[in-house]
Structure 1
Amino acid sequence: MPTAEQHGIKEHSDGRFGFVPVQTRSDRFKSVNVADFAPVTGREAVWKLSPVAKFTDLTAGELDGSVYPVESTPNAGITVGWVDRDDSRIGTAGAPEERAAANAWSSFDQALAITVSGEEAKEVTVTRAGLGSAPRGAHTIIDALPFSQAVVILENTGDARLTENVEIILGESANLTVVTLQEWNDGAVHLANHFASIGRDARLKHIVVSLGGSIVRVNPSVRLAGPGSEAELLGLYFADAGQHLEQQVYVNHDAPNSRSRVTYKGALQGTGARTVWIGDVLIGRKAAGTDSYEQNRNLVLTKGTRADSIPNLEIETGDIKGAGHASATGRFDDEQLFYLQARGITEEEARRLVVRGFLSEIVQQIGSAPLEDRLQAAIEAELRGTEEE
């Protein structure tokens, strides 16, 4: 979107086109009103790698914003309930940068609020299942009060055509893990934007696990707003034939002495399996002492797949501890396979061991033993699909 005179840059006098390109990631246009965004064409920076023609009902159509059935595990110190649109927390973590998110924001009737309090460790699982095939918009707030500590697991299963926004707010010294698990049915479409604001000395671990669904796009946007804040963003995805799994990650270091680590890992199998990972890290002018690193790794298991991996790093201050990024996409390591086969392991089992080891780095950092066991079993099921092809 055009913006005026960024960093002292003005439009050219030749032609008077009146367009100044966005110069830094934080200057992208934002609005909670869907009417402020032009119709999606697929040529926009945020949509150019997405199959936009397959979900125009979510970007341009009317959405059902009513409340839906939710199940949650009871836990002292965590409340789960619906709040009105005028709740003071709504809009404090971030705002949409694209039309699907704005459509959801304009459409929801009430927001699902998950409030965490108390310094003792606790865990809650919030499950949505069977949202149906009608296009829907939703909004969720996860509010970790100062000094609170918890693991919040968002489980998504069944059918859905859903666009939603999730706001994550961490008060001073809060320690929060948020796991979003996409195990939708094969035809589901899920577009999600997660906005997080991290206060002084607070720590967020954000984990995206995408296994099911036809099109799944989960985009975390994290602002390290308080001094000493920390974010760890992890992702695991396994794309099968014809499946599109996408994640656009944005980390905004907006305070001094903040730290971030981004690690996303994915595997692809089957004709037409497609994954997209874009990682943007911005170290702002106020973020002296920043320590940041992002990486994306993709393992190609069969022919006919495509993985796009685009890391980006912007630094506006020279006073940092460190910053870097890395990206790699490749097939099995022949030396690893040879090593395992030389010790009497069959080629089939050797391949499974390599993939399990590759993805287990993410699974083991979730911090919920039952969920980790479930995901290991789900990965095994995906690998059995590889053997059948």
Structure 2
Amino acid sequence: MPTAATTEPAKPVKVSKHADGRFGYVPVQTRSARFKSTNVADFETVTGREAVWKYLPVAKFTDLLAGDLDGSPYEIESTDSTDVSVEWVERSDGRIGLAGAPEERASANAWTGFEKALAITVNGEEAKEITITRAALGYAPRAAHTIIEARPFSQATVILQNSGEARLTENVEIILGESANLTVVTVQEWDDEAVHLSNHFASVGRDARLKHVVVSLGGRIVRVSPSIRLAGSGSDTDLLGLYFADAGQHLEQQVYVNHDAPQSRSRVNYKGALQGKAAHTVWIGDVLIGSKGTGTDSYEQNRNLVLSEGTRADSVPNLEIETGDIVGAGHASATGRFDDEQLFYLQSRGISEEEARRLVVRGFLTEIVQKIGSPELEARLLLAIEAELVITDGK
């Protein structure tokens, strides 16, 4: 079992102003060296110029970055599943802090402010599926904390379904024991004005496998940041993401994979589409192959499809390697509009331009949906994507 996360990595070192050219601080050069703390008071006020915040309109959610939050338990709905328990636990629960610790102020504010954690515990070697639904949390600023523990050799799919009103900052801890096989799917279908900042921390044990899927379709500002530590030899993770931004939406994903054990494997594949004025998506992918990560096999990619004028897609892949003894590592990123040849081919077969566009986008995003492994959820998401494919002419 992993030990609780420490909170003492070094802050940037103070030096004379001329040493770094402007601010008088040496920036953190390694992803794993970022400062961490579960106490919001340990973080400075957010200005929006920080690397972790620079893409977000921080002025629109200052209440989630500082001040009091409602951290009380909220109403949930849960499907029944054998060998899966769902309960509220106290802050003293020994699993809290095992998977990671906040690296930024909103996450730390949620950690400081929650009263009880929602604990989902998976037992049993038979595959099973459970859906946890949250709806209508309201627009008062709120904090939340969730623990998902997959006991050794267990198998399950856990779906976190989000909809309705929300103004939420939260942390989700995911703990996989030896040889566990867990799929976690988080679906964001919030109302148009919702704000959701979510940090997922995962620790993957020996020979365990985690599939983590982020689907963001609704909400005004949504950021889901999975941070995965491959902590045991032979650990494995697939990180999948699908997002569709309409006019005025900001959908962001900051992904981090830390290969901290030998013979580990990771694959990251995020795809997004954008349409409408001021639709903005951000994907940042950090992969660290540490000195203990011998035999690592890693690859990450991000693809964005631009459907109209006035959109913006930021895509930043990063790769750090601290050992030369690896199987392979790489990354890729691409952002572009429709392929005119594809549209021409479809139209030459008698398909209208509008329907041809729908087919291209559907095919582009369906690859991610089909890898989730839950037929019922996959069918529902395909319908949701279809509903998004309304031609807005940039409005």
TM range (shorter): over 0.9
- Deviation of 1:23 (Å): 2.0
Contact 1:3–1:20 (8 Å) recurs in 2 = no
| 1:46-88 CA-partner distances (Å, limit 9, x unpaired) | 0011110000000012100000001100111100010000000
| SS across alignment from 1:165 | strand
Q: Give 2:106's aligned amino acid.
A: A
Q: Which runs of 4+ in 1 moved over 2 A?
A: 2-6, 9-21, 384-389
Distance 1:203 1:226 in 2: 10
Deviation readout 1:224-274 (Å, 9 max, x if unpaired): 000000010000000000000000000000000000000000000000000
2:240 aligned with 1:245, yes or no?
no
Per-residue deviation at 1:5?
10
What is the aligned counterpart of 1:334 among 330, 340, 343?
A: 340
Q: Which amino acid aligns with 1:248?
A: Q
* Equivalences for residues 257-336 of structure 1 within 5 A: 257-336=263-342
State the match for 1:105 in structure 2: 111
The match for 1:52 is 58
Q: Which residue of 1 aligns with 2:385?
A: 379
**Secondary structure of 2:278's aligned partner:** coil
Contact 1:29 1:97 in 2 (8 A): yes
1:141 to 125, 133, 147: 147
Unaligned runs of 5+ in 2: 1-7
1:76 paired to 2:82:
yes
Question: What is the aligned partner in structure 2 of residue 196 from structure 1?
Answer: 202
Amino acid at match of 1:182: Q
Deviation at 1:12, TM superposition (A): 6.4
Say which SS state the counterpart of residue 153 (structure 1) adopts.
strand
What TM-score, normalized to structure 1?
A: 0.96
Q: State the partner residue of 2:30.
A: 24
Maintained 8 Å contact 1:3/1:22: no
Alignment coverage as a number of residue pairs = 386
1:276-333 per-position Cα deviation (integer Å, ceiling 9, x unaligned)? 0000000000000000000000000010000000000000000000000000000000
- Partners of 1:5 and 1:215 lie apart in 2 by 29
Question: Counterpart amino acid of 1:132?
Answer: G
- CA RMSD for the aligned pairs? 1.9
Task: Tell me the secondary structure at the aligned position of residue 359 of structure 1.
Answer: helix
Q: Is the CA contact 2:276–2:394 (under 8 Å) kept in the aligned structure 1? A: no
- Distance in 1 between residues matched to 2:394 and 2:308, nearest whole Å: 12
Verify: 1:162 aligned to 2:168, yes or no. yes
How many angstroms apart in 1 are the aligned matches of 2:83 and 2:63? 38
* Residues 143/272 of structure 1: CA separation in 2 closer, same or farther (3 Å cut): same
Aligned amino acid, residue 75 of structure 2:
P
Identity of aligned residues (%): 77
Match of 1:180 in 2: 186
Mark the CA change 1:10 to 1:192 in structure 2 (over 3 Å): closer, same or farther.
closer
Cα distance in 2 for residues equivalent to 1:61 and 1:265: 35
Structure 2 partner of 1:35: 41
Structure 1's 186 and 203: CA in aligned 2 closer, same or farther, altered over 3 A? same
Are the counterparts in 2 of residues 116 and 144 from structure 1 also a CA contact under 8 Å? yes
Task: Give 1:127's aligned residue.
Answer: 133
CA distance in 2, matches of 1:371, 1:144: 21
Counterpart amino acid of residue 191 in structure 2: N
The answer to whether the 8 Å contact 2:230/2:260 transfers is: yes
Per the alignment, residue 221 of structure 1 pairs with: 227
Shift of 1:20: 3.0
Provide the C-alpha distance between the structure 2 equivalents of 1:130 and 1:138, rounded to a whole number of angstroms. 14
Consecutive unaligned residues in structure 1, runs of 5 or more: none
Q: Secondary structure at the match of 2:188?
A: strand
SS at match of 2:261: coil
Secondary structure (helix, strand or coil) at the match of 1:384 reads: coil
Question: Quick check: 1:4–1:10 contact (8 Å CA) kept in 2?
Answer: no
- Over 3 Å counting, the alpha-carbon distance change for 1:13 and 1:375 in structure 2 is closer
Aligned partners of 1:263 and 1:296 also within 8 Å: yes
* TM-score, L = length of structure 2: 0.95
